[in-house]
Protein backbone atom coordinates (compact mmCIF):
# COMPACT_ATOMS: atom_id res chain seq x y z
CA UNK A 1 0.00 0.00 0.00
CA UNK A 2 2.22 2.82 -1.29
CA UNK A 3 1.05 6.46 -1.18
CA UNK A 4 1.15 8.35 -4.48
CA UNK A 5 2.79 11.09 -2.47
CA UNK A 6 5.98 9.24 -3.26
CA UNK A 7 5.04 8.83 -6.91
CA UNK A 8 7.91 9.42 -9.33
CA UNK A 9 5.59 10.72 -12.05
CA UNK A 10 5.49 14.46 -12.71
CA UNK A 11 2.13 16.21 -12.19
CA UNK A 12 -0.25 16.33 -15.11
CA UNK A 13 -1.46 19.75 -16.21
CA UNK A 14 -4.81 20.89 -14.84
CA UNK A 15 -7.17 23.26 -16.70
CA UNK A 16 -5.84 26.12 -14.54
CA UNK A 17 -2.28 25.23 -15.49
CA UNK A 18 -1.48 23.31 -12.32
CA UNK A 19 -0.03 19.80 -12.93
CA UNK A 20 -1.23 16.79 -10.90
CA UNK A 21 0.48 13.45 -10.26
CA UNK A 22 -1.06 10.27 -11.68
CA UNK A 23 -3.75 8.90 -9.36
CA UNK A 24 -4.53 12.43 -8.14
CA UNK A 25 -7.53 14.59 -8.81
CA UNK A 26 -8.59 18.02 -7.60
CA UNK A 27 -12.02 19.21 -6.42
CA UNK A 28 -13.23 22.58 -5.19
CA UNK A 29 -14.86 22.76 -1.76
CA UNK A 30 -18.15 24.62 -1.11
CA UNK A 31 -16.07 27.57 0.20
CA UNK A 32 -14.42 27.57 -3.24
CA UNK A 33 -11.10 26.23 -2.02
CA UNK A 34 -9.44 23.80 -4.41
CA UNK A 35 -8.30 20.46 -2.95
CA UNK A 36 -5.76 18.02 -4.33
CA UNK A 37 -6.70 14.50 -3.39
CA UNK A 38 -4.45 11.46 -3.53
CA UNK A 39 -6.13 8.12 -4.24
CA UNK A 40 -4.18 6.67 -1.29
CA UNK A 41 -6.46 8.39 1.19
CA UNK A 42 -9.21 6.12 -0.03
CA UNK A 43 -7.22 2.87 -0.34
CA UNK A 44 -5.53 3.05 3.04
CA UNK A 45 -8.77 2.53 4.97
CA UNK A 46 -8.30 -0.55 7.19
CA UNK A 47 -10.32 -3.66 6.13
CA UNK A 48 -9.03 -7.21 6.71
CA UNK A 49 -5.59 -7.64 8.43
CA UNK A 50 -4.86 -10.90 6.60
CA UNK A 51 -5.51 -9.44 3.13
CA UNK A 52 -3.50 -6.33 3.80
CA UNK A 53 -0.84 -8.46 5.58
CA UNK A 54 -0.41 -10.56 2.43
CA UNK A 55 -0.55 -7.53 0.12
CA UNK A 56 2.26 -7.92 -2.51
CA UNK A 57 2.97 -4.22 -2.06
CA UNK A 58 4.75 -5.09 1.21
CA UNK A 59 8.17 -6.55 0.24
CA UNK A 60 9.42 -6.49 3.85
CA UNK A 61 6.44 -8.58 5.02
CA UNK A 62 7.51 -11.37 2.69
CA UNK A 63 11.08 -11.57 3.95
CA UNK A 64 10.29 -13.42 7.25
CA UNK A 65 7.95 -16.13 8.64
CA UNK A 66 6.23 -13.58 10.85
CA UNK A 67 5.44 -10.19 9.37
CA UNK A 68 5.29 -8.65 12.83
CA UNK A 69 8.87 -9.43 13.79
CA UNK A 70 10.31 -7.55 10.88
CA UNK A 71 7.64 -4.90 11.15
CA UNK A 72 8.53 -4.29 14.76
CA UNK A 73 12.26 -4.35 14.07
CA UNK A 74 12.12 -2.05 11.09
CA UNK A 75 9.95 0.35 13.05
CA UNK A 76 11.46 0.44 16.55
CA UNK A 77 14.85 1.37 15.12
CA UNK A 78 13.57 4.61 13.49
CA UNK A 79 10.52 5.76 15.39
CA UNK A 80 11.46 7.59 18.61
CA UNK A 81 9.95 10.94 17.53
CA UNK A 82 12.05 12.91 20.04
CA UNK A 83 15.41 11.25 19.28
CA UNK A 84 14.74 10.69 15.59
CA UNK A 85 17.96 12.44 14.63
CA UNK A 86 19.99 10.24 17.01
CA UNK A 87 18.47 7.12 15.51
CA UNK A 88 19.37 8.33 12.06
CA UNK A 89 22.92 8.79 13.31
CA UNK A 90 23.04 5.42 15.11
CA UNK A 91 21.84 3.45 12.11
CA UNK A 92 25.03 3.63 10.02
CA UNK A 93 27.20 2.30 12.92
CA UNK A 94 24.90 -0.74 13.00
CA UNK A 95 25.10 -1.35 9.25
CA UNK A 96 28.85 -0.77 9.22
CA UNK A 97 29.63 -4.02 11.16
CA UNK A 98 32.10 -6.23 9.19
CA UNK A 99 30.07 -9.12 7.60
CA UNK A 100 32.17 -11.80 9.36
CA UNK A 101 31.43 -10.71 12.92
CA UNK A 102 27.68 -10.99 12.54
CA UNK A 103 25.85 -13.20 15.13
CA UNK A 104 22.82 -15.27 13.96
CA UNK A 105 20.57 -12.99 15.99
CA UNK A 106 21.95 -9.83 14.38
CA UNK A 107 21.89 -11.40 10.89
CA UNK A 108 18.11 -11.26 10.99
CA UNK A 109 18.34 -7.54 11.69
CA UNK A 110 20.77 -7.03 8.81
CA UNK A 111 18.43 -8.78 6.38
CA UNK A 112 15.80 -6.30 7.39
CA UNK A 113 17.48 -3.30 5.76
CA UNK A 114 16.35 0.19 6.95
CA UNK A 115 14.52 1.99 4.13
CA UNK A 116 12.59 4.71 5.97
CA UNK A 117 13.01 7.15 8.82
CA UNK A 118 10.42 9.01 10.87
CA UNK A 119 11.34 12.56 11.96
CA UNK A 120 8.98 14.63 14.09
CA UNK A 121 6.36 11.92 13.37
CA UNK A 122 6.71 12.30 9.59
CA UNK A 123 8.06 9.26 7.73
CA UNK A 124 10.56 9.73 4.88
CA UNK A 125 12.40 7.25 2.71
CA UNK A 126 16.07 7.00 3.63
CA UNK A 127 18.54 8.46 1.11
CA UNK A 128 18.78 6.12 -1.88
CA UNK A 129 15.97 3.91 -0.58
CA UNK A 130 12.59 3.32 -2.22
CA UNK A 131 11.60 4.43 -5.73
CA UNK A 132 13.28 7.72 -6.83
CA UNK A 133 11.06 10.75 -6.18
CA UNK A 134 10.72 13.25 -9.00
CA UNK A 135 9.50 16.76 -8.23
CA UNK A 136 5.71 17.19 -8.44
CA UNK A 137 6.33 20.29 -10.58
CA UNK A 138 9.82 20.02 -12.08
CA UNK A 139 11.63 23.29 -13.09
CA UNK A 140 8.96 25.34 -11.33
CA UNK A 141 10.52 25.76 -7.94
CA UNK A 142 7.00 25.25 -6.67
CA UNK A 143 6.38 25.69 -2.96
CA UNK A 144 4.74 22.21 -2.99
CA UNK A 145 8.09 20.58 -3.69
CA UNK A 146 10.49 22.14 -1.20
CA UNK A 147 9.01 22.49 2.28
CA UNK A 148 8.46 18.92 3.51
CA UNK A 149 11.07 18.90 6.23
CA UNK A 150 10.86 20.79 9.51
CA UNK A 151 13.87 23.03 10.01
CA UNK A 152 15.70 23.92 13.19
CA UNK A 153 15.28 27.64 13.92
CA UNK A 154 18.42 29.85 14.09
CA UNK A 155 18.89 29.12 17.85
CA UNK A 156 18.66 25.44 17.00
CA UNK A 157 16.40 24.87 19.99
CA UNK A 158 12.89 24.33 18.58
CA UNK A 159 12.18 23.20 15.02
CA UNK A 160 9.92 25.12 12.62
CA UNK A 161 7.60 23.38 10.14
CA UNK A 162 8.41 24.03 6.48
CA UNK A 163 4.89 25.36 6.14
CA UNK A 164 5.67 28.08 8.70
CA UNK A 165 8.45 29.31 6.41
CA UNK A 166 5.87 29.74 3.64
CA UNK A 167 3.53 31.62 5.97
CA UNK A 168 6.34 33.95 7.06
CA UNK A 169 7.01 34.76 3.41
CA UNK A 170 3.36 35.72 2.98
CA UNK A 171 3.35 37.96 6.06
CA UNK A 172 6.55 39.67 4.93
CA UNK A 173 5.07 40.23 1.47
CA UNK A 174 2.02 41.85 3.04
CA UNK A 175 4.29 44.11 5.09
CA UNK A 176 6.34 45.12 2.03
CA UNK A 177 3.17 46.02 0.16
CA UNK A 178 2.07 48.16 3.11
CA UNK A 179 5.44 49.92 3.30
CA UNK A 180 5.36 50.68 -0.42
CA UNK A 181 2.03 52.43 -0.02
CA UNK A 182 3.51 54.41 2.89
CA UNK A 183 6.40 55.42 0.64
CA UNK A 184 3.98 56.62 -2.04
CA UNK A 185 2.09 58.53 0.64
CA UNK A 186 5.28 60.40 1.53
CA UNK A 187 5.75 61.24 -2.14
CA UNK A 188 2.20 62.56 -2.29
CA UNK A 189 2.87 64.88 0.63
CA UNK A 190 6.02 66.21 -1.07
CA UNK A 191 4.08 66.90 -4.28
CA UNK A 192 1.32 68.70 -2.40
CA UNK A 193 3.83 70.91 -0.60
CA UNK A 194 5.61 71.69 -3.88
CA UNK A 195 2.32 72.54 -5.60
CA UNK A 196 1.27 74.73 -2.69
CA UNK A 197 4.50 76.75 -2.88
CA UNK A 198 4.39 77.14 -6.67
CA UNK A 199 0.81 78.30 -6.65
CA UNK A 200 1.53 80.74 -3.82
CA UNK A 201 4.46 82.21 -5.75
CA UNK A 202 2.39 82.48 -8.93
CA UNK A 203 0.18 84.98 -7.07
CA UNK A 204 3.11 87.15 -6.01
CA UNK A 205 2.79 90.83 -7.04
CA UNK A 206 6.48 90.99 -7.99
CA UNK A 207 7.08 92.96 -11.22
CA UNK A 208 3.31 93.15 -11.74
CA UNK A 209 3.75 96.71 -13.07
CA UNK A 210 5.85 95.58 -16.02
CA UNK A 211 4.15 96.84 -19.20
CA UNK A 212 3.56 96.01 -22.84
CA UNK A 213 4.52 92.73 -24.47
CA UNK A 214 7.20 92.19 -21.83
CA UNK A 215 4.53 92.64 -19.18
CA UNK A 216 2.35 90.06 -20.92
CA UNK A 217 5.20 87.54 -21.12
CA UNK A 218 6.01 88.08 -17.46
CA UNK A 219 2.38 87.65 -16.42
CA UNK A 220 2.23 84.41 -18.41
CA UNK A 221 5.44 83.22 -16.78
CA UNK A 222 3.86 83.73 -13.35
CA UNK A 223 0.68 82.03 -14.50
CA UNK A 224 2.73 79.08 -15.75
CA UNK A 225 3.74 78.44 -12.13
CA UNK A 226 0.09 78.11 -11.25
CA UNK A 227 -0.31 75.63 -14.09
CA UNK A 228 2.72 73.70 -12.86
CA UNK A 229 1.18 73.61 -9.42
CA UNK A 230 -2.00 72.18 -10.93
CA UNK A 231 -0.03 69.47 -12.71
CA UNK A 232 1.71 68.40 -9.50
CA UNK A 233 -1.55 68.52 -7.57
CA UNK A 234 -3.20 66.27 -10.14
CA UNK A 235 -0.17 63.99 -9.91
CA UNK A 236 -0.50 63.70 -6.13
CA UNK A 237 -4.26 63.07 -6.38
CA UNK A 238 -3.81 60.33 -8.93
CA UNK A 239 -0.96 58.85 -6.89
CA UNK A 240 -3.39 58.63 -4.00
CA UNK A 241 -6.29 56.99 -5.82
CA UNK A 242 -4.36 54.92 -8.37
CA UNK A 243 -1.29 53.80 -6.45
CA UNK A 244 -1.29 54.44 -2.70
CA UNK A 245 -4.82 53.21 -2.01
CA UNK A 246 -4.68 50.04 -4.14
CA UNK A 247 -1.37 49.10 -2.53
CA UNK A 248 -2.73 49.78 0.95
CA UNK A 249 -6.10 48.06 0.60
CA UNK A 250 -4.97 45.03 -1.47
CA UNK A 251 -5.85 42.06 0.82
CA UNK A 252 -7.44 43.48 3.92
CA UNK A 253 -7.42 42.00 7.40
CA UNK A 254 -9.12 38.86 6.06
CA UNK A 255 -5.83 37.92 4.50
CA UNK A 256 -4.08 37.43 7.83
CA UNK A 257 -7.14 35.58 9.15
CA UNK A 258 -6.97 33.23 6.17
CA UNK A 259 -3.29 32.59 6.80
CA UNK A 260 -4.08 31.76 10.45
CA UNK A 261 -6.76 29.31 9.25
CA UNK A 262 -4.25 27.53 7.01
CA UNK A 263 -1.75 27.55 9.86
CA UNK A 264 -4.16 25.98 12.37
CA UNK A 265 -5.44 23.47 9.83
CA UNK A 266 -1.99 22.14 9.00
CA UNK A 267 -0.89 22.26 12.64
CA UNK A 268 -3.93 20.22 13.75
CA UNK A 269 -3.08 17.53 11.21
CA UNK A 270 0.46 17.46 12.57
CA UNK A 271 -0.91 16.98 16.13
CA UNK A 272 -3.19 14.21 14.95
CA UNK A 273 -0.24 12.62 13.19
CA UNK A 274 1.76 12.72 16.44
CA UNK A 275 -0.99 11.04 18.48
CA UNK A 276 -1.47 8.36 15.87
CA UNK A 277 2.26 7.81 15.79
CA UNK A 278 2.15 7.35 19.59
CA UNK A 279 -0.56 4.68 19.19
CA UNK A 280 1.63 2.88 16.67
CA UNK A 281 4.48 2.81 19.19
CA UNK A 282 2.16 1.51 21.92
CA UNK A 283 0.85 -1.26 19.66
CA UNK A 284 4.41 -2.29 18.73
CA UNK A 285 5.31 -2.61 22.42
CA UNK A 286 2.18 -4.75 23.09
CA UNK A 287 2.97 -6.98 20.08
CA UNK A 288 6.55 -7.47 21.26
CA UNK A 289 5.31 -8.56 24.74
CA UNK A 290 2.82 -10.99 23.22
CA UNK A 291 5.50 -12.55 21.02
CA UNK A 292 7.85 -12.97 24.02
CA UNK A 293 5.07 -14.73 25.97
CA UNK A 294 4.38 -17.04 23.00
CA UNK A 295 8.09 -17.98 22.73
CA UNK A 296 8.24 -18.86 26.47
CA UNK A 297 5.16 -21.03 26.26
CA UNK A 298 6.52 -22.81 23.14
CA UNK A 299 9.78 -23.64 25.02
CA UNK A 300 7.72 -25.06 27.96
CA UNK A 301 5.94 -27.33 25.46
CA UNK A 302 9.30 -28.76 24.30
CA UNK A 303 10.12 -29.83 27.93
CA UNK A 304 6.91 -31.73 29.04
CA UNK A 305 3.81 -32.26 26.97
CA UNK A 306 0.42 -31.62 28.67
CA UNK A 307 -3.06 -30.51 27.49
CA UNK A 308 -2.81 -27.54 29.78
CA UNK A 309 0.20 -26.13 27.93
CA UNK A 310 -1.27 -26.85 24.50
CA UNK A 311 -4.19 -24.61 25.49
CA UNK A 312 -1.86 -21.86 26.74
CA UNK A 313 0.05 -21.80 23.48
CA UNK A 314 -3.11 -21.57 21.39
CA UNK A 315 -4.24 -18.67 23.64
CA UNK A 316 -0.90 -16.90 23.39
CA UNK A 317 -0.83 -17.26 19.58
CA UNK A 318 -4.33 -15.81 19.36
CA UNK A 319 -3.35 -12.85 21.55
CA UNK A 320 -0.19 -12.32 19.49
CA UNK A 321 -2.21 -12.30 16.23
CA UNK A 322 -4.64 -9.85 17.88
CA UNK A 323 -1.74 -7.55 18.85
CA UNK A 324 -0.49 -7.77 15.22
CA UNK A 325 -3.88 -6.78 13.93
CA UNK A 326 -3.93 -3.80 16.37
CA UNK A 327 -0.52 -2.64 15.14
CA UNK A 328 -1.59 -2.89 11.49
CA UNK A 329 -4.73 -0.86 12.20
CA UNK A 330 -2.66 1.81 14.04
CA UNK A 331 -0.12 2.01 11.19
CA UNK A 332 -2.90 2.36 8.65
CA UNK A 333 -4.55 5.13 10.68
CA UNK A 334 -1.15 6.87 10.93
CA UNK A 335 -0.65 6.60 7.17
CA UNK A 336 -4.14 7.94 6.52
CA UNK A 337 -3.41 11.01 8.62
CA UNK A 338 0.01 11.57 7.05
CA UNK A 339 -1.64 11.26 3.65
CA UNK A 340 -4.26 13.86 4.60
CA UNK A 341 -1.54 16.17 5.89
CA UNK A 342 0.39 15.66 2.66
CA UNK A 343 -2.65 16.58 0.60
CA UNK A 344 -3.26 19.72 2.66
CA UNK A 345 0.39 20.69 2.35
CA UNK A 346 0.27 20.40 -1.45
CA UNK A 347 -3.09 22.17 -1.69
CA UNK A 348 -2.18 25.02 0.64
CA UNK A 349 1.36 25.61 -0.57
CA UNK A 350 0.07 25.82 -4.15
CA UNK A 351 -2.47 28.36 -2.91
CA UNK A 352 0.21 30.41 -1.16
CA UNK A 353 2.31 30.22 -4.30
CA UNK A 354 -0.61 31.59 -6.32
CA UNK A 355 -1.14 34.37 -3.74
CA UNK A 356 2.50 35.43 -4.00
CA UNK A 357 2.34 35.59 -7.80
CA UNK A 358 -0.81 37.71 -7.51
CA UNK A 359 0.87 40.01 -4.99
CA UNK A 360 3.89 40.57 -7.21
CA UNK A 361 1.74 41.18 -10.29
CA UNK A 362 -0.51 43.57 -8.35
CA UNK A 363 2.44 45.58 -7.14
CA UNK A 364 4.01 45.55 -10.60
CA UNK A 365 0.77 46.86 -12.10
CA UNK A 366 0.56 49.75 -9.66
CA UNK A 367 4.22 50.71 -9.72
CA UNK A 368 3.81 50.87 -13.50
CA UNK A 369 0.90 53.22 -12.92
CA UNK A 370 3.28 55.30 -10.80
CA UNK A 371 5.81 55.64 -13.62
CA UNK A 372 3.03 56.36 -16.11
CA UNK A 373 1.79 59.20 -13.91
CA UNK A 374 5.34 60.52 -13.57
CA UNK A 375 5.71 60.58 -17.36
CA UNK A 376 2.38 62.36 -17.75
CA UNK A 377 3.40 64.91 -15.15
CA UNK A 378 6.63 65.73 -16.95
CA UNK A 379 4.78 66.04 -20.25
CA UNK A 380 2.04 68.31 -18.90
CA UNK A 381 4.73 70.30 -17.13
CA UNK A 382 6.49 71.03 -20.40
CA UNK A 383 3.27 72.27 -21.94
CA UNK A 384 2.95 74.86 -19.16
CA UNK A 385 6.03 76.70 -20.45
CA UNK A 386 5.01 76.83 -24.10
CA UNK A 387 2.69 79.86 -23.85
CA UNK A 388 5.51 81.71 -22.08
CA UNK A 389 7.88 80.79 -24.91
CA UNK A 390 5.33 82.12 -27.40
CA UNK A 391 5.00 85.50 -25.72
CA UNK A 392 8.76 85.80 -25.22
CA UNK A 393 9.17 85.16 -28.94
CA UNK A 394 6.65 87.85 -29.87
CA UNK A 395 8.19 90.30 -27.42
CA UNK A 396 8.76 93.68 -29.18
CA UNK A 397 10.58 96.65 -27.57
CA UNK A 398 9.37 99.06 -30.30
CA UNK A 399 5.76 98.06 -29.69
CA UNK A 400 6.28 98.46 -25.95
CA UNK A 401 7.72 101.97 -26.49
CA UNK A 402 4.77 102.90 -28.68
CA UNK A 403 2.27 101.75 -26.04
CA UNK A 404 4.08 103.55 -23.29
CA UNK A 405 4.64 106.81 -25.26
CA UNK A 406 0.98 106.89 -26.32
CA UNK A 407 0.03 106.77 -22.66
CA UNK A 408 2.67 109.08 -21.22
CA UNK A 409 3.79 111.61 -23.84
CA UNK A 410 3.72 115.27 -22.77
CA UNK A 411 3.88 117.12 -26.10
CA UNK A 412 5.35 116.69 -29.53
CA UNK A 413 5.55 120.37 -30.63
CA UNK A 414 9.24 121.23 -30.63
CA UNK A 415 10.54 124.58 -29.34
CA UNK A 416 11.54 127.27 -31.85
CA UNK A 417 13.71 130.38 -31.56
CA UNK A 418 12.14 133.38 -29.96
CA UNK A 419 11.82 136.44 -32.21
CA UNK A 420 12.69 139.89 -31.20
Residues 235-254 that bind a second copy (CB under 8 A): none
Total residues interacting with a second copy, rule: CB under 8 A: 122
**Span interacting with a second copy, options 11-19, 27-35, 208-216, 250-258, rule CB under 8 A:** 208-216
The yes or no reply on residue 19 touching a second copy (CB under 8 A) is: no
The yes or no reply on residue 36 touching a second copy (CB under 8 A) is: no
The yes or no reply on residue 349 touching a second copy (CB under 8 A) is: no
Q: Distance between CA atoms of 349 and 167, rounded to whole angstroms?
A: 9
CB of 339 to a second copy, least distance (A): 8
Complex with a second copy: residue 146 or 305, whichever CB lies closer: 146
CB of 253 to a second copy, least distance (A): 20
The yes or no reply on residue 86 touching a second copy (CB under 8 A) is: no
Burial label, 266 (beta-carbon count in 10 A; 0-12, 13-18, 19+): buried
Q: Return the residue of 36, 67, 109, 350 that touches a second copy, per CB under 8 A.
A: 67
CB of 168 to a second copy, least distance (A): 9
Longest CA pairwise span in the chain (Å): 182
Could you tell me if residue 369 is left (phi over 0), alpha (psi between -120 and 50 degrees) or otherwise beta?
alpha
Q: Report the SS3 class of residue 20.
A: strand
The yes or no reply on residue 301 touching a second copy (CB under 8 A) is: no
Q: Return the residue of 20, 24, 37, 150 that touches a second copy, per CB under 8 A.
A: 150
The yes or no reply on residue 379 touching a second copy (CB under 8 A) is: yes
Q: Distance between CA atoms of 123 and 238, rounded to whole angstroms?
A: 55
Q: Distance between CA atoms of 146 and 4, rounded to whole angstroms?
A: 17
The yes or no reply on residue 385 touching a second copy (CB under 8 A) is: yes
**Span interacting with a second copy, options 26-34, 254-262, 294-302, 386-394, rule CB under 8 A:** 386-394
Restricting to residues 111-130, name those near a second copy by CB under 8 A.
115-116, 118, 122-125, 130
The yes or no reply on residue 400 touching a second copy (CB under 8 A) is: yes
Going from the C-alpha of 207 to that of each of 50, 140, 214, 400, 402, the distances in angstroms are 106, 68, 11, 16, 20
Question: Do 77 and 91 form a contact (C-beta atoms < 8 A)?
Answer: yes
**Span interacting with a second copy, options 67-75, 95-103, 234-242, 262-270, rule CB under 8 A:** 67-75
Q: Which residues contact 170 (CB under 8 A, 6 or more apart)?
A: 259, 352, 355, 356
Q: Return the residue of 9, 84, 85, 135 that touches a second copy, per CB under 8 A.
A: 135
- What is the DSSP code (8-state) at residue 244? I
CB of 47 to a second copy, least distance (A): 15
CB of 303 to a second copy, least distance (A): 33
Closest CA to 67 of 77, 80, 54: 54
Closest CA to 112 of 175, 61, 42: 61
Restricting to residues 172-191, name those near a second copy by CB under 8 A.
172, 175-177, 179-180, 182-183, 186-187, 190
The alpha carbon dihedral of 406, 410, 411, 417 has a sign of negative
Q: Report the SS3 class of residue 391.
A: helix
Q: Return the residue of 34, 145, 174, 278 that touches a second copy, per CB under 8 A.
A: 145
Amino acid sequence: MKSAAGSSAALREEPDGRPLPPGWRSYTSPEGRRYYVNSCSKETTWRRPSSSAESPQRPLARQSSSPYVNGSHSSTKSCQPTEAADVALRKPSINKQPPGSVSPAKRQIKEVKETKITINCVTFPLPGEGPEQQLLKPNEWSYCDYFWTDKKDPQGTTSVAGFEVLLQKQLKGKQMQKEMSEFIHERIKIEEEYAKNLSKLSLSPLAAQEEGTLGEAWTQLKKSLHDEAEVHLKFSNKLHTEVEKPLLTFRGDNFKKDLKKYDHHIADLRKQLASRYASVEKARKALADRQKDLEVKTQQLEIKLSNKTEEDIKKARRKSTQAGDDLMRCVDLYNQTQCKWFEEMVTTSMELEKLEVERIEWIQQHLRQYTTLRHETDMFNQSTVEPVDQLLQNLDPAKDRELWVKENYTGEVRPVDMDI
